[in-house]
Amino acid sequence: MKLGAVASAVVTERTPEAMQPENLFAAAHRLGLEHLELPARGWDNPGTRFVERVAALQERYGIGVQLGFGDRYIEHGDRQPTERFAAFVEQVCRPLGVTVIGTASHLHGGRWLKDPPLEVQLDRLAAALRRLAPIAEDGGVYLAIENHADYRGSELASVLERVGSRHVGARLDTGNAYCAIEEPVAAAQALAPYTMATHIKDQIVEAEPGNRGLTPGGLLWLGNCALGEGHVDFAAILPLLARHGPLGGNLVLTMEVPASTVAQSIAYARTAFAPYLD
């Protein structure tokens, strides 16, 4: 496995200048990372020269890239448009050698929404992804949908079973599971056989019946932190990914941590994940 990070983890600012590919690649290189999850904004605007610039940066730094694609899957359902995804694969992913594309449902917190009901959401999500599966297969890419603080691992696994394509899988986020009132290990158990991408993050979980005196009150508080400082059981999750993941050693462990903690998180990962890193 290889160690990478999302773009927001490698720079402390999110200004337009800081988020330019040239700055992101340079920052990832300084940190010794092998992979970078890069925003693909402007890929369809010829004026940005996105593909040309990223290709040159890949050659310069030798850093692999994962990209993201999104659409309103649940609204579209079995009428999911396919043209834009096909163009993204052909015009961006193939020229850059990108094989893993992350995605997420646009209904953030979906399982907690009453309209549409959960089962309807999952049915529509499966129908939309089925429409995109042949394009991923023909393009030689993997589309990986995240447990994006919306669905539990078993729920996304049921969607992927219905899609029935080895080119449509999961992006396991180890911290987001808590937002679905799920243990990260349970999410990993359900999604490991489908996991083609990751967001490796840790979370501090605290019981907060009074929500620190704020109103309205709450029962839980989740806090971002450096890897190893929270409650995510990486010692249980990494073996599941290594044993059951479809990409085997080609899986990228993409850290999604606060930029202020990235150096500390990299140091932790290089030690704690050492048996699994190339």
Polymer length in residues for the chain: 278
pLDDT of residue 219: 77
Nearest-angstrom CA–CA distance, 142 and 99: 6
pLDDT score of 214 more than 70: no
pLDDT score of 239 more than 70: yes
| Model pLDDT for residues 16-71, shown as the tens digit of each residue | 899 999 999 999 999 999 999 999 989 999 999 999 999 999 999 999 999 999 99
H and E: helices and strands count for the chain: 11, 10
| Model pLDDT for residues 118-132, shown as the tens digit of each residue | 999 999 999 999 999
pLDDT of residue 215: 55
Q: Tell me if residue 114 falls in helix, strand or coil.
A: coil
Nearest-angstrom CA–CA distance, 229 and 157: 28
Read off the tokens for 184: 């990260």
The identity of residue 23, as a single letter, is N
Question: What is this structure's pTM?
Answer: 0.96
Mean predicted lDDT score pLDDT of the chain: 95
| Model pLDDT for residues 133-187, shown as the tens digit of each residue | 999 999 999 999 999 999 999 999 999 999 999 999 999 999 999 999 999 999 9
pLDDT score of 211 more than 80: no
Q: How far is CA 52 from the centre of its chain?
A: 24
How many structural domains does the chain have?
1
The rounded percent of the chain whose pLDDT value lies above 70 is 97
pLDDT score of 276 more than 60: yes
Domain that holds residue 180: 2-276
Q: 110 near 121, Cβ under 8 Å?
A: yes
CATH code at position 31: 3.20.20.150
pLDDT of residue 9: 98
**Which of 15, 33, 21 lies closest to 265, judged by CA?**
33
pLDDT of residue 208: 72
pLDDT of residue 220: 80
